[in-house]
Structure 1
Amino acid sequence: MTQYWLFKTEPDAFSIDDLAACPNKREGWDGIRNYQARNFMRDQMLVGDKAFIYHSSCKDVGIVGLAKVSQTGLVDPLQFEPESKYFDPKSSPDNPRWVMVELEHVETFNNILSLKTIKNMPSISEIGLVKKGGRLSIMPVSENEFQLLLSAAKQS
């Protein structure tokens, strides 16, 4: 059964266009340092799950495209690199604390589905984007809300 997700990224660091430009349009989603987001990747995501890519901390925030999970169970290598801002001295190769999934670019939308538009959609009430305190870097999306958001993104 396909599950649905939303992955937030700052486009100055890594954008939907960066994902589309990767070899085979695939890239490991590294640098996640929130335990709940990590647990989603580690314990719940499956190959084939669909994911919105959401640009945050920029002028035009919103859903910009679609990806799918192409690989799971990967160890985030940045946790072992002392020069990385994602280095974790408490992690070891024998017992890594941080995981990642690989995402594959599916589609870049013609227009951004803005956060303002999302918040004004009456049927969208459960996704973390519209709830106080629920703004994780990775969050689940219900199938119903995924379909509504996808339809809105393709029409915008």
Structure 2
Amino acid sequence: YIYSVTENGRKYSRVGKCTGHSSFVTHLDWSTDSQIIVTNSGDYEILFWEASSGKHATSVDAVRNLEWATSTCVLGFNVFGIWPEGADGTDINALCRSHDKNLLASADDFGKVHLFSNPCSQPRAPSHIYGGHSSHVTNVAFLHDDSHLISTGGKDTSILQWVLA
């Protein structure tokens, strides 16, 4: 569902419902103009939506050159290269783009954090790989000034802070 929030957060009005994925939604990003939403799902679909109505945005021209305010979707043309050869589609748990838009950080099922150049659209793109978690990494996030990266562990329940130089 998409809601319009007004009156300083006191009023919520439903403006649309996004229906079309065959599985659960795993990731969601907004365009910088807040007009388009992109979602990934558990069955590896990438769908685009008009934020004003929840209807499919099916025109390639409408979504091809969009700028994204966030970059957490692990499936997409600009992040294709984060996937290692032989990945089963669930090996990458999270993705985050730096605020200066130069880096992508991914969290994987093998306890690793990867740093890529953005965009990352070539297959098996090179990355810097960092270990520290004893099991899967559940999320990554850049601090506001991009000086550090935070990663969270799953089974090890740890929070690691990485200095970016």
Rg larger for: 2
**If the length of structure 1 is used for normalisation, what is the TM-score?**
0.25
Structure with greater strand percent? 2
TM-score (norm 2): 0.24
